[in-house]
C-alpha cells in the first residue's frame, strides 16, 4: 500500500488552512510569509522553518496527495495546472504549462533535473554583472539538492527517448542521459498528472512536509492580492480565499510579516508586484520574461512506440544549443515529451480526417521537441507580464525574427533526426505542413513554411525572468541574494530572477539558488 504522506501529516496535526473553508475575515502574523510552494517556495519553507522562524506558506492551488492522482488528463489538468493547462500568451501563439497546486510545477513536471549550463553562468557574469554566482559557488548547492531529491541519471529509456538517441547516433550528434528527481520510481509515465506513488521527489512530498513538521503553516487556495508596505519596508500581505473551483468567494486573510519571500513563479511573482504597485524606478517588473519557446515534430514509425509509457524524459541532446556561442543565433535543445491523448489532440496541427488519422496512430507516434534558448541576444528580449482588468496576469510575448529563424532550423533538425531513427513519415507541427516520407521532402517543405504565430505550433513549460537578478540597479530588480532593491523585507526566490532563459530545464537551477539564498536569508533574520 502506498503511504499517503499528506493524509498522515494532516492527521498528525499539521497546520493547514484551506481557502475553500475560510469563513469571515482573519488576521495572522509570522516572521516570514512565503508566496508560492514550488521549487523556490518549497526550498525556502524548509530552510527558514528549520531555522526556527515562524513561517507561513501560501499557494493559490489546492493541497492534493498521491490518492488524488488518478493518471487521468481530464481531471489532472483542471485540478493541477494554471488555467486548466490552457494558459497561453496574449496573442494565443504559445501554450504555457505551469502547475497551480501545492508543490507548484514540481508536482506536475516531467522530472528532468539539469544543472545551470556553464555558458549561461558565464553570460550572466559578463552581461549582467554577476559576481557571486558561478559554477564554483553554486556547486555545493547543486550537490545538496541532488542528494535531497534523489537526482541521478535515469538509464531505463522508453522507445520515445530511445529513438531520439538512435537518431543522434546515426547522425553523430551528441546526446546524454537525463538526471531525474525520483526515488523508487515505478516508471509509469504519468508524471505530468501528479505522481500516484510518491516516487517523484517534488516539493509536495519533500520540503513542504519538512516545513510543516518544523511548525510552518500552509494556506492553500488563497490568492495573494497585494503586498503591504510602509516607509520603504514590507509589513505583510492581503490574501483572498478561493473556493473549490478556484474562484474568489469573498473571504480574506490579512497577514503581518517582517519578511516576504516571493516564489510565485515567473508570471505570478511579477503579477503580485504589479498589483501591489511596488517601487520600480526603472520599470523593470515583468519585463524580459522568457519561455524556451518549443517547436514540435511528430514522426510515424512502423513499430509501436507507446510514448505514454515509461519515464517521460531520459535522453536529451545539446548538440545545437551553444554552436554559435551564447550570443549567436538562437540555439535549441532536443528532448521528447510524453504523448498522452488530450495533450496530443490539443497540440497536433491539422483538423478533420487528418487529425483523426493521427490520433488513431498515437501508439506509433514519436514526438521530438526543440527548446529555443531565448534572452541571450539583443534580438531576443522575451515578453512582458501584464495585468488584465481583473488583476490576473497575462504574458505578452511577441516572437522575433531571431526566434523564428531558430524555430525553422530546429524543425529541420528534428525531421532529419527522426528519419535517421527510422521514421516512415514525419510531420512538423505547423498548420501548413503535411506528412512527408523522406528527409529531402521534409527539408524542401520546412524551408518554405511561413514561420508565423498561430501557424507554427509553439509551447512552453519553462517560464523564467520578469524579476531579473544582476549587479546593476538600472537593469535588475534583485541582487544576487534575491533581495528586492527598492523595499526592505522582500526577497524573490524563484525562476523569475533569471536574467535570461537557461538553455536547460530550470527546476534544479531554482533548487540550488533557492538553497543558497534561503540559507543567507535565514542567517540575516536570525541575527
List pLDDT tens digits, range 174-204.
999 999 999 999 999 999 999 999 999 999 9
| DSSP assignment of 5-65 | HHHHHHHHT-EEEEGGG--S-EEEEEEEEEE--SHHHHHHHHHHHHTT--EEEEESSPP--
| 141 contact partners, CB below 8 Å, separation of at least 6 | 511, 512, 513, 515, 516
pTM above 0.85, yes or no: yes
User: What pLDDT was estimated at residue 349?
Assistant: 80
Handedness of CA 264, 269, 271, 275 (dihedral sign): positive
Is-contact 234 228, C-beta < 8 A? yes
Q: Which residues pair with 116 in a beta bridge?
A: none
Helix (H, G, I), strand (E, B) or coil at 380: coil
Q: How many helices (H) and strands (E) does the chain have?
A: 14, 22
For residue 233, what are the CA distances in angstroms to 290, 412, 484? 29, 52, 10
Cα 380 to chain centroid, rounded: 20
CA–CA separation, 271 and 224 (whole Å)? 10
pLDDT at 348: 86
Q: For residue 245, what is its C-alpha cell?
A: 473551483
Q: Supply angle C-alpha 23, 28, 33, rounded to 5.
A: 115
Q: Are 468 and 283 in contact (CB under 8 A)?
A: no
3-state SS assignment for residue 254: strand
Backbone angles phi, psi at 283, to 5 degrees: 55, 55
In contact, 467 and 273? CB cutoff 8 Å: yes
- Are 111 and 312 spatial neighbours (Cβ–Cβ below 8 Å)? yes
CA distance 301 to 140: 44
Ranges of beta strands (E only) in 68-150 are: 94-96
- Please list, residue by residue across 190-202, b when 16 or more beta carbons sit within 10 angstroms of its beta carbon and e when fewer do: bbbbbbbbbbbbb
DSSP structural state of residue 212: H
Which cell goes with 81?
A: 495546472
Q: What is the pLDDT of residue 429?
A: 96
Q: Give the three cell numbers for residue 175.
A: 546526446
Q: What is the pLDDT of residue 351?
A: 83
Dihedral (CA of 232, 233, 236, 237) sign = positive
What would the DSSP string read from start to end of 67-79?
GG--S-HHHHHHH
Listed as ranges, residues in the chain with pLDDT below 70 are: none
What is the C-alpha to C-alpha distance for residues 433 and 440, in angstroms, rounded to an integer? Answer: 14
Q: For the residues of 395-461, what is the DSSP string, one character each?
A: EE-PPPHHHHHHHHHHHHHHHHHHHHTT-SEEEESBTT---BSSHHHHHHHHHHS---BTTB-EEES
CA 292, CA 416: separation in Å to the nearest integer? 21
Cell digits of residue 160: 520515445
H-run or E-run covering 512: helix 507-526
Q: Report pLDDT for 350.
A: 82
E strands, 289-344, in order: 289-290, 294-300, 315-320, 332-335
**CA–CA distance from 256 to each of 20, 203, 225, 239 (Å)?**
21, 25, 14, 11
User: Can you tell me the distance from the alpha carbon of 402 to that of 380, in angstroms, rounded to the nearest whole number?
Assistant: 7
Q: DSSP string spanning 256-268?
A: EEEEEEE-SHHHH
> From CA 239, how far away is CA 315, in angstroms rounded?
42
Is residue 122 within 8 A of residue 376, CB to CB? The reply is no
Positive or negative: CA dihedral 103, 107, 113, 117:
negative
Distance of CA 292 to the CA centre of its chain: 10
Amino acid at each position: 500500500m502506498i503511504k499517503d504522506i499528506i493524509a498522515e501529516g494532516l492527521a498528525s496535526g499539521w497546520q493547514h488552512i484551506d481557502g475553500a473553508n475560510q469563513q469571515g475575515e482573519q488576521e495572522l502574523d509570522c516572521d516570514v510569509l512565503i508566496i508560492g510552494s514550488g521549487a523556490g517556495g518549497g526550498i525556502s519553507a524548509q530552510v527558514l522553518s528549520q531555522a526556527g522562524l515562524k513561517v507561513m506558506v501560501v499557494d493559490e492551488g489546492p493541497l492534493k496527495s498521491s490518492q488524488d492522482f488518478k493518471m487521468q488528463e481530464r481531471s489532472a489538468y483542471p485540478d493541477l495546472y494554471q488555467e486548466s493547462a490552457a494558459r497561453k500568451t496574449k496573442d494565443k501563439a504559445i501554450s504555457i504549462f505551469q502547475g497551480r497546486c501545492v508543490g507548484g510545477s514540481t508536482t506536475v513536471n516531467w522530472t528532468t533535473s539539469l544543472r545551470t549550463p556553464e555558458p549561461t553562468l558565464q553570460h550572466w557574469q559578463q552581461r549582467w554583472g554577476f559576481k557571486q554566482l558561478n559554477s564554483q559557488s553554486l556547486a555545493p548547492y547543486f550537490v545538496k539538492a541532488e542528494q535531497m531529491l534523489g537526482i541521478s541519471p535515469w538509464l531505463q529509456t522508453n522507445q520515445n527517448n530511445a529513438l531520439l538517441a538512435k537518431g543522434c547516433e546515426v547522425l553523430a550528434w551528441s546526446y546524454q542521459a537525463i538526471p531525474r528527481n525520483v526515488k523508487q520510481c515505478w516508471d509509469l509515465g504519468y508524471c505530468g498528472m501528479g505522481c500516484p506513488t510518491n516516487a517523484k521527489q517534488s516539493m509536495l512530498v519533500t520540503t513542504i512536509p519538512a516545513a510543516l513538521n518544523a511548525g510552518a503553516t500552509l494556506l492553500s487556495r488563497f490568492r495573494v492580492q497585494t503586498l503591504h508596505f510602509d516607509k520603504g519596508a514590507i509589513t505583510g500581505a492581503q490574501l483572498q480565499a478561493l473556493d473549490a473551483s478556484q474562484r474568489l468567494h469573498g473571504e480574506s486573510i490579512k497577514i503581518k510579516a517582517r519578511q516576504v519571500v516571493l516564489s510565485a513563479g515567473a508570471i505570478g511573482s511579477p503579477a503580485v508586484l504589479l498589483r501591489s504597485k511596488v517601487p520600480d524606478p526603472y520599470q523593470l517588473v515583468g519585463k524580459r520574461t522568457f519561455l524556451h519557446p518549443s517547436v514540435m515534430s511528430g514522426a510515424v514509425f512502423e513499430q509501436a512506440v507507446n510514448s505514454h509509457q515509461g519515464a517521460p524524459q531520459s535522453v536529451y541532446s545539446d548538440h545545437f544549443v551553444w554552436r554559435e556561442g551564447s550570443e549567436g543565433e538562437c540555439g535549441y535543445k532536443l528532448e521528447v515529451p510524453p504523448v498522452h491523448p488530450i495533450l496530443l489532440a490539443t497540440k497536433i496541427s491539422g483538423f478533420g480526417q487528418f487529425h483523426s488519422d493521427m490520433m488513431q496512430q498515437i501508439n506509433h507516434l514519436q514526438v521530438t521537441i526543440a527548446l529555443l534558448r531565448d534572452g541571450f541576444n539583443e534580438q531576443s528580449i522575451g515578453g512582458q507580464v501584464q495585468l488584465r482588468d481583473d488583476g490576473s496576469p497575462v504574458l505578452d510575448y511577441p516572437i522575433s525574427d531571431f526566434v523564428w529563424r531558430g524555430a525553422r532550423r530546429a524543425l529541420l533538425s528534428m525531421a532529419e533526426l527522426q528519419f535517421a531513427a527510422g521514421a516512415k513519415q514525419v510531420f512538423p507541427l505547423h498548420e501548413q505542413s503535411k506528412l512527408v516520407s523522406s528527409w529531402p521532402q521534409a527539408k524542401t517543405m520546412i524551408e518554405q513554411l511561413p514561420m508565423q504565430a498561430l501557424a507554427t505550433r509553439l509551447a512552453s513549460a519553462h517560464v523564467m525572468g520578469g524579476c531579473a537578478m544582476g549587479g546593476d540597479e538600472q537593469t535588475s530588480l534583485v541582487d544576487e541574494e534575491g533581495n528586492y532593491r527598492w523595499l526592505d523585507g522582500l526577497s524573490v526566490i524563484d525562476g523569475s530572477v533569471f536574467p535570461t532563459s537557461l538553455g536547460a530545464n530550470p527546476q534544479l537551477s531554482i533548487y540550488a539558488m533557492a538553497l543558497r539564498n534561503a540559507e543567507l536569508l535565514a542567517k540575516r533574520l536570525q541575527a
